[in-house]
Structures are given as C-alpha cells and as structure tokens.
Amino acid sequence: MAQSEGTLRDAAGLEALISRAAAQGKGLPPVEKWNPDFCGDLDMEIKADGTWFYMGTPIGRAPLVRLFSTVLRRDADGKTYLVTPVEKVGIRVEDAPFLGVELNVSGEGADQVMTFRTNVGDIVEANAANPLRFVIDPANGGLKPYVLVRGRLEALLARPVMYELVSHGEDIVVGGKSMFAVRSGGTVFPIMPSGELEEQSL
C-alpha cells in the first residue's frame, strides 16, 4: 500500500504531526476547513468493534487512538482520512469509525433525549442534526443502528446499547404508516414498520 515519505512512515512521526495539529486550538481541530495534499494510504484500519490497528497490530494506547480520532474525516468519495493542515492520508474502516458504547436517556415522550458516548470519548445527542439511522445486516439479518457524530462520521451502536435503545421504542405513525420508532431531541427516528418487528432478528 502506498505511503508518504518521511514522518508518516511510522506511528510516532504521525502521532507527533497530529499532536501539533491538535495543539492549534481548543476542542476538535477544524478538519473540514483543511485541504492538504493527499499523501497516500497508511496501513491503519479501524475494525467494526472499534479497535484501531497499525501495520496489523492493535494500538493499545487509548490516548493515541483518541488523538487520531480527532483528525478523522470522511470525504464525499466515501473514504476516510487522517487530516492535518499539511497532510492527508487514507485509512481503512471496516464499518463505522466510532462505536457507541453508552446511552443515557432523559425526559419522556416528545421531550425525550438520547445521548451517546463513543469509544473515543465523543458525546453526541441524537437529534435532527445528529440523526440515528437503522440498517439490516445482510449477513445475519440483524439490526444495526448508527448515530451521526460529526461531519460524515458515524458511530455503530454496540449491541448492549442497541438493545437499550430498542427498549425505548414505540409505535408511532410516520407518513401515515405505523412504525416502530424512537424519539430524541424533538425528532422521530423510524426503525422499521411495526408489523415487521416480531420477524426481526435483533
């Protein structure tokens, strides 16, 4: 796989580069505003369970994974990159770049709010700007829920979180059709037609 020269040849150099980018300001770096040259692909992959691998080896340092996660960007081409002001490198993502590992539900009915924590520490409230979406896994017919974290980056909800979310579901008429759905942040998120719920493998 093609890789750029110099600092991107090893994780330590990449870590230093990203640290400098992250140090430019408080909060998340403004990766959407950066347009550096593409420097090739890096042998880095995010597995479906949220584990990051570099050159086939799991990255065991949580602070380093968190650092890398702050400069992730998914572009219109459908690919995911690590982006700094001066370099952009492609990485592989098996499913979603983040994993939703915790759910907090507050309020009831139309005032209900679902707030998720990701495996890298992001806190995101499901609403119109950060919607939930649901797909059926073609491999096993299971339900796979996602929440938009930022940009085009989503978190796949871990199974225990998915079960907790579904426990807050209710039958709601959407577009004249009865849907099994959840509410959050003033928005209704349909999961599936009510009649299909019993047939679904969760």
DSSP code per residue over 41-106: EEEEEE-TTS-EEETTEE---HHHHHHHHTTEEE-TTS-EEEE-SS-EEEEEESS-SEEEEEEEEE
Distances (CA, A) of 33 to 85, 130, 159: 9, 20, 34
- Judged against a pLDDT cut of 50, whether residue 121 lies above it is answered with yes
Mean pLDDT of the chain: 87
Distance of CA 45 to CAs 83, 84, 106, 165, Å? 15, 18, 35, 28
pLDDT at 202: 54
Say whether pTM exceeds 0.75: yes
Helix axes 62-69, 11-22, angle to 10 degrees: 60
Task: Work out the average pLDDT over 116-136.
Answer: 96
pLDDT of residue 142: 87
β-pairing, 143-150 vs 153-157, is antiparallel
Give the residue carrying structure tokens 């199974």. 159
Residue 7: its pLDDT value, please?
Answer: 35
pLDDT category at 6 given cuts 50, 70, 90 is: very low
> 167: which residues sit within 8 A by CB, 6+ positions away?
none
Q: How many residues does the chain have?
A: 202
Residues 6+ apart with CB under 8 A from 127: 113, 184, 185, 186, 187
Q: What percent of the chain has pLDDT over 90?
A: 69
